[in-house]
Structure 1
């Protein structure tokens, strides 16, 4: 399997893990919570933390699989 194919398959698995996670939480969850609970937290020392999970969530938003709604001061991700 080529590297690009491996990456595509890995992305699909990570997206499915996020979908499964949100299915268990109808109230939704914020990015940091998702990253922490799924073991996707960034080790990066700079300002852009947990970008991997945020990028995956962005793809799911674009596909219409998840949505965001303002809840108090937060905008949790929820299944669409």
Structure 2
């Protein structure tokens, strides 16, 4: 079985962490992907309990996961101030 990590891992930066600004789009928390070569933006779907506000006012650290959600690559909040 081929995973999204195998097919698009480099352009999606699966497993990488980025400080991102998150906004609400269509009742989902979404961030623009920091890699211009990525065909997908990021749906932040895990670690939401770490957020004090939804969407957060300041950028947060998000790790990109190896799966998709509703046409976005999934992401997990790692923390509000991690590098």
Superposed pair shares fold, TM > 0.5 = no
Question: Higher helix share goes to which structure?
Answer: 1
- Relative to the length of structure 1, the TM-score reads 0.33
Question: Higher strand share goes to which structure?
Answer: 2
Q: Which has the larger radius of gyration?
A: 1
